Amino acid sequence: MNSLLKVSGLIDGLSRFIGRWVIWLVLASTVISAVNAIIRKVFNYSSNAFLELQWYLFAASFLLAAGYTLLNNEHVRIDVVVGRFSRRVQTWIDVFGLLAFLMPMCVTVLWLGTPFFLQAWRSGEISSNAGGLIVWPVYALIPLGFSLLLLQGLSELIKRLAFLQGLAPDPGIKVQQRSPEEELAEAIRLAAERQQEALQAPHDHKKA
């Protein structure tokens, strides 16, 4: 089990790394959308390539971050009934859900979705819209995203089985961490304090 927990730790690290970078795709999609709208209004010009790139990036942000979302227990859950049980019972329910639903679903999507990507890649398929983009990159997001989700599902399964054996902490309890907004506010506050101290230092020196 210790070896499996190490594997789980590596998978968690991969999901965190991807999650930290995928968030920038949302920003890129927003910027492209804003620029496209401005060009359309000001210059009366628009491009299907820009429109398709927006939803390419938006699709990537959801599919690639699915494993990261599972790692942080942020997927939608209905705990009206399950929340009444003990943590061990809830963990067994999670184990059942991972084995009976999540992992088979990921395998099924990989089995059915990978051929679409391979076919588009070999043929160099291009969007049917005028000026559209090639489609295999967005098709590639299907096997890639569900592979990452399947890996994270395996990691969650390992952690829950280890918890049931008393070898790991409860993975279902969220660790309260500061949000990015709170971290940014704290960084701004510290920078302002350092600047104030730097400005105050010459005055204190003169008084001395």
175, pLDDT greater than 60 = no
Looking at residues 104-111, what average pLDDT do you find?
A: 95
194, pLDDT greater than 90 = no
Q: What is the pTM of this model?
A: 0.76
pLDDT of residue 156: 92
Q: How far apart are CA 112 and CA 105, in angstroms?
A: 11
Selection from 12, 16, 4, 2 nearest residue 158 by Cα: 4
**Interior/surface letters 10-23, b for 16+ CB within 10 angstroms, e for the rest:** ebbebbeebbeebe
Contacts of residue 152, Cβ cutoff 8 Å, sequence gap at least 6 = 11, 12, 15, 66, 67, 68, 70, 71
Q: How far apart are CA 208 and CA 200, in angstroms?
A: 13
Which residues are 126's β-sheet partners? 134
Quick one: DSSP state of residue 124?
T
Higher per-residue confidence, 1 vs 67: 67
Q: How far apart are CA 51 and CA 132, in angstroms?
A: 9
